[in-house]
C-alpha cells in the first residue's frame, strides 16, 4: 500500500468489497481499485482511502477579503492551503493547474505537511484564520477536519472556499470546526451544472441550506460568465434563492469573469451585467451585495442597510476602516450580520 494513503471519512462498505463515498453529491460507488470522480479517493481492498491527506500544493498568507469573505474578521490575514484535485471539472476554472492535476495524469502529491505544521504556520504568520481554498476543500476533507480541530484548540478560525457539493452528512461533520464558508453558486440551471461543471445543481442548494441551518457563516459568490449564467432571469433567480432560502443577510459576491482554461477565449463580463446583478439583488431584498474582480471600478464598502453609514471601508483586499460597535452600526444601532471579532 502506498505510504501516502490515509483512511477516508464518510464511507459505507457495500457488497463485494465495493464502497460508497458519502462525502460529496456524486456519492461515488467504487469497486476495488477504483478512484472517485475527484481522482484522489480510492477503494483499496474494500476500504476507502484518500491520497490527498497532508499533500499540500499551495500555502500562502492572504487577506481574508481575497476569499472573498467580507463579513468575517475584516482586515485580518488567513493562512490559505490547498491539496491537488477537485470533484468538479469546471471549464472556466481559474486554478485548473492544481484542481485538475490528478485527473490530467499529474501527481497528486504535494509537500508532506501535518495539521500541527499548518496551525503552527498560521500562528507564526499571525493569521486569525486558516482558509482551505484554491482547489476544493472537500477533496482534502480529512486534513481540513484534523487541522480545523487543532486550530480551534489554539483560538484560530477556519474557513472553506467551496463549490458547495458536500452532503448533509459532511456538513454535519465539519460544522463544529468550520466558522465561515464562501460557496460558489455557479449557475441556477441544472443543465449548466451538468454541461459546464460536470455536476448537478440540487446538491449545491441542499448544501447551502444545511450550512445555514448548522450555524456556519455563509457568503455566496457567483462568477458571472458571458453566455453561461448571465441572463437577467437567472441572476434574479439566484438573488431570490439567497434571500428566501438562506436569508436576506447572506452576502452575495457577483464576480467578473476573465477567460481561463477551456474558456480562455470567452470575453470578460461587461461591468453593466454586474451592475444589473446588483440591482436584481437589491430588488430581491438582499442587504449586502458586492461586485468582485473589478477593483476600483465599483463600491466595495459595507454599508448599513438601515442608515447607509459606511461600516467597512475597503478597496480591493485592503480594509481602511471598520466602524462597528459590538457588531452594530455606530450611528443607528442596526445589528450587522457577520463574525466581526
Q: pLDDT tens digit string along 175-218? A: 999 999 999 999 999 999 999 999 999 999 999 999 999 999 99
Indicate the Cα dihedral angle 232, 234, 237, 242, nearest 10°. -100
Give residue 3's pLDDT: 52
Closest CA to 164 of 187, 192, 130: 187
Res 300 pLDDT > 90: no
Q: Beta strand 252-256 with 217-224: parallel, antiparallel or unpaired? A: parallel
Res 62 pLDDT > 80: yes
pLDDT tens-digit profile of 64-108? 999 999 999 999 999 999 999 899 988 877 777 787 877 777 556
pLDDT tens-digit profile of 218-250? 999 999 999 999 999 999 999 999 999 999 999
Query: What superfamily would CATH give domain 55-300?
Result: Aldolase class I (3.20.20.70)
Please tell me whether residue 264 adopts helix, strand or coil conformation.
coil
Give residue 299's pLDDT: 75
Domain residues of the chain, as ranges? 6-50, 55-300, 308-341
Residues 6+ apart with CB under 8 A from 97: none
Give residue 1's pLDDT: 36
Amino acid at each position: 500500500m502506498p505510504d501516502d494513503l490515509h483512511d477516508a471519512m464518510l464511507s459505507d462498505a457495500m457488497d463485494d468489497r465495493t464502497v460508497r463515498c458519502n462525502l460529496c453529491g456524486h456519492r461515488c460507488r467504487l469497486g476495488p481499485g477504483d478512484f472517485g470522480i475527484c481522482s484522489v479517493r480510492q477503494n483499496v481492498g474494500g476500504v476507502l482511502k484518500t491520497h490527498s491527506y497532508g499533500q499540500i500544493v499551495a500555502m500562502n498568507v492572504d487577506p481574508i477579503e481575497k476569499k472573498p469573505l467580507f463579513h468575517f474578521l475584516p482586515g485580518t490575514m488567513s493562512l490559505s492551503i490547498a491539496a491537488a484535485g477537485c470533484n468538479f471539472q469546471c471549464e472556466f476554472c481559474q486554478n485548473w493547474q492544481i484542481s485538475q492535476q490528478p485527473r490530467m495524469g499529474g501527481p497528486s502529491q504535494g509537500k508532506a505537511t501535518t495539521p500541527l505544521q499548518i496551525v503552527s504556520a498560521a500562528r507564526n504568520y499571525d493569521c486569525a484564520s486558516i482558509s482551505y481554498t484554491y482547489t476544493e476543500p472537500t477533496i482534502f476533507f480529512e486534513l481540513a477536519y484534523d487541522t480545523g480541530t487543532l486550530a480551534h484548540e489554539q483560538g484560530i478560525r477556519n474557513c472553506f472556499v467551496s463549490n458547495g457539493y458536500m452532503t448533509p452528512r459532511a456538513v454535519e461533520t465539519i460544522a463544529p470546526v468550520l466558522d465561515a464558508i464562501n460557496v460558489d453558486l455557479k449557475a441556477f440551471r441544472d443543465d449548466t451544472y451538468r454541461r459546464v461543471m460536470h455536476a448537478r445543481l440540487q446538491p449545491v442548494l441542499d448544501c447551502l441550506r444545511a450550512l445555514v441551518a448548522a450555524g456556519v457563516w455563509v457568503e455566496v459568490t457567483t462568477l458571472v460568465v458571458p453566455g453561461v449564467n448571465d441572463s437577467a432571469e437567472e441572476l434574479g433567480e439566484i438573488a431570490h434563492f439567497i434571500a428566501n432560502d438562506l436569508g436576506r443577510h447572506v452576502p452575495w459576491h457577483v464576480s467578473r469573469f476573465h477567460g481561463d482554461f477551456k474558456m480562455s477565449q470567452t470575453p470578460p463580463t461587461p461591468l453593466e451585467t454586474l451592475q444589473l446583478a446588483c440591482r436584481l439583488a437589491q430588488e430581491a431584498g438582499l442587504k449586502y451585495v458586492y461586485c468582485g474582480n473589478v477593483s476600483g471600478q465599483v463600491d466595495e464598502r459595507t454599508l448599513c442597510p438601515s442608515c447607509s453609514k459606511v461600516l467597512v471601508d475597503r478597496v480591493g483586499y485592503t480594509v481602511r476602516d471598520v466602524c462597528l460597535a459590538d457588531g452594530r452600526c455606530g450611528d443607528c444601532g442596526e445589528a450587522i450580520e457577520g463574525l466581526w471579532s
